[in-house]
Each structure stands twice: as C-alpha cells, then as structure tokens.
Amino acid sequence: MSLNVDRASMAFSFKGGMLPMTVMELTSADPERIREQLAGKLSQSPAFFQHTPVVLSVEKLDEPHLALERICAVCRAHKLLPVAVRGGTDPVKQSAWALGLGWFPPQEIKPRNLESVAEAAPEAPIDDADTSAGAASGGRIYRGTVRSGQQISAPDGDLVVIGAVNAGAEVLAAGSVHVYGALRGRALAGIHGDHEAGIFCRELRAELLSVAGNYKRLEDIDPRLLGHSVQVQLSDDQLSIAPLA
C-alpha cells in the first residue's frame, strides 16, 4: 500500500523548530506564594503578562505534581499560559499530561567559554548584501542585517552577527550572542539554560534581552546605556548590563 500523499490535499506538515520560551523556575510549590510574587511582577511589567507561554520548571521541588494543577490556575489567572513542565519524575509527567501540558526531561547545562567566539570572530566591515552563514567554535556567524520578522539561531553554540539586528527581528543561541552593529530587536542567549552565556553588542537599542531565561525589556534598561556598546551577563540570577570596554 502506497503511503504517498498528494501535497495539495495535505492539511498540515510537521516541522522541527526552536521557539524561544520563557521558563518559570519554581523554588516553591505554594500557590499563594506564587500568586503574591506574580502580582508584584504584574505591577512592574504588565506588558509581559499578555498570554505569554511559559514552561514550568519543577526541578528544584519535591513532589510538585501534588500542586501542579493549582499552580497552573494561578498562572492563568495572571495571564500566563503554562504549555509544558520541565523536570520531575514519572508522577510529574503523568500529571502534566493529565492537565494537557507537555513534559520535558531535566535540562543539562553545558558550561562554555564566553570569549571563545569573540576570539574566533575578529571585527569585519558590515555588508548588508552578504547574508552567508558559517560555523565558528561550534556556533554560527551571520553576515548582514537581520531584518524584521527574521529569526537567526545557533542551537549548539555561540552566534555572531556581523551586522545589525532590526526591530522585530530575533537572534538566539545556546551560548553567547555577539552583535557587531546595532541591536534593536530581541536577543536571547543561553536558551538551554547556560548561565555563563552573555550578550555583547556595539549599540544597544534592544526590545528584549534574555540570558538563561532571565530577561529585561527596553523599558527596564537604564536609558544611559542605550546607544552604547554593552555586555549583558547574569549576576545572582539577575541580568547585569555594563558598558563594554
């Protein structure tokens, strides 16, 4: 029996993809404590709580499946949409599936050297017409402007963009992100949880910066840093943005 299907009659197709996702790392399974903290976050950054999909990381909890349904309800009440659970044992997996959520195994974090790609990618003239990509230190080099609506990723290493990242564009990497031009879009480093990753850019105008799931939006960035060369790294689980000497 032939398994060939006429493409014109196909209703869908499966494609591999890597979408940026906010991870909510839980250190307490108490729904009331979570509710109180979410209320505080909502007052600080209301724009973030607009039906944002989140993955609930329960790797630091004991028996999280007992409170999973209530935690999901608290998230939805604050306009967060739990889509999956990360970590836990079989009871957690079964509870996630019963709630209509996906499940991911615990994340393995691979440490990396922040300077490896910086050394491998010396400064070069920016040429918008050149949009070739190449590998460097297990990562990727992208030459040219990343335009609005584009997403450039390096799922296994660092990403170097020799050009600008326009508003509405997105660059993301398992390691660090280096932008040898203006960064006006979204930059996400350490997308698999690498806390040693960082973001380095020549001109900061970013809509969003994220390292290992910790993020800042444009309105949260010190205006004195805008337009300057900066480095973004994690310090005590908080994003630290400093001038790049």
Where among 104, 133, 162 does a domain terminate?
104
Q: Are residues 83 and 186 in the same domain?
A: no
Span 91-125, pLDDT tens digits: 999 999 999 999 988 876 544 443 433 343 333 33
Q: Are residues 94 and 167 in the same domain?
A: no
The pLDDT tens digits for 152-161 are 999 889 999 9
Segment 171-176 mean pLDDT: 93
Residue 102 has a pLDDT of 94
Does residue 153 or residue 4 have the better pLDDT?
153
Provide the 10 A C-beta neighbour count for residue 80.
23
pLDDT per residue over 176-217, tens digit each? 999 999 999 999 999 888 999 999 999 999 999 999 888 888
Q: Which are the contacts of 239, defined by CB distance < 8 A and separation ≥ 6?
A: 209, 210, 211, 214, 215, 216, 232, 233
- Domain hosting 203: range is 115-243
pLDDT digits (tens, 9 = 90+) for 46-70: 666 677 888 999 999 988 888 999 9
- Indicate if the pLDDT at residue 232 is higher than 90: yes
| Residue where one domain finishes, among candidates 104, 139, 154 | 104
* Residues 158, 198: Cα–Cα separation, whole Å: 9
Check residue 129 and give its pLDDT: 36
